[in-house]
Amino acid sequence: MGAALHSVSVLNVLRSRNLPNVDFRRPEQILASLNAVFPMNDHRDMYFTMWYGVYKPSSRLLTYASGGHPPALLIQDTTGNGSEIRELRTPNLFLGGLEGIDFEYDEVEIKPAARLYVFSDGVYEIMNENGPCWEFDDLKAYLEDSGDRGKSTMDDLWAHVRQIAGSETLEDDFSVLEIRIP
């Protein structure tokens, strides 16, 4: 319950844009400011991870930064019938752990017909009674192969993961966002 409330606090700060002297179009500034506002020592030793991106349609440029979070996956069509998958991550630590650190960002140009997936580790750290049975590379391959369906893959992914786990409930959160960029 404490972690959920901590997440809501972070979300409320972002939603209200209550970070002074921060350009919300600069992911590295967002992460640095949240890191300063939510130090572990002041929040019952709780930290958090985050992936933050800003897409500018006019230039098709996505600027992003991650702090201890799984990489987002960008899947773009290539010439022919294939696709290219790219892990979008920056080498930043989780947020709230160390004061006064700088955060790095990166940029990528988005080609037409792209899909971007941002997710928690509960989407790929799937366990069954025999232990780990589905991991990051499995998710990556599944999402890359799912593009030919022409529809959202979320319902199919949810059903697939529950089948692998052998249960209707999972041990961790299952949070995933699919963004289609024409």
Q: In which band, very low, low, confident or very high, does the pLDDT at 166 lie, cut at 50, 70 and 90?
A: confident
- Nearest-angstrom CA–CA distance, 118 and 20: 26
pLDDT > 80? residue 152? no
Q: What is the average pLDDT across 27-40?
A: 96
DSSP 42: G
pLDDT > 90? residue 120? yes
E strand or H helix at 37: helix 27-37
DSSP string, 116-169: EEEE-GGGT-EEETTEEEE-HHHHHHHHHHGGGG-S--HHHHHHHHHHHHTSSS
Q: How many percent of the chain have pLDDT more than 90? A: 64
Predicted pLDDT of residue 78: 75
The CATH number of domain 2-181 is 3.40.630.10: no
Predicted pLDDT of residue 180: 92
pLDDT > 70? residue 158? yes
Q: What is the CA radius of gyration of the chain?
A: 17
**CA 73 vs CA 1, 11, 22, 99: distances in Å:** 29, 22, 26, 29
Q: What is the average pLDDT across 71-84?
A: 84
- Nearest-angstrom CA–CA distance, 157 and 123: 9
Go through the chain and tell me how many residues it has.
182
Q: Is the CB of residue 122 less than 8 Å from the CB of residue 174?
A: yes
Q: CA triplet 148, 150, 156: central angle to 5 degrees?
A: 85
Least confident of 46-50, 128-132, 133-137: 128-132
Predicted pLDDT of residue 3: 72
Q: Is the CB of residue 179 less than 8 Å from the CB of residue 115?
A: yes
Q: In which band, very low, low, confident or very high, does the pLDDT at 106 lie, cut at 50, 70 and 90?
A: very high
Least confident of 64-78, 124-138, 147-161: 147-161
- Nearest-angstrom CA–CA distance, 166 and 58: 45
- Cα dihedral 174, 91, 7, 1 sign: positive
Predicted pLDDT of residue 170: 85
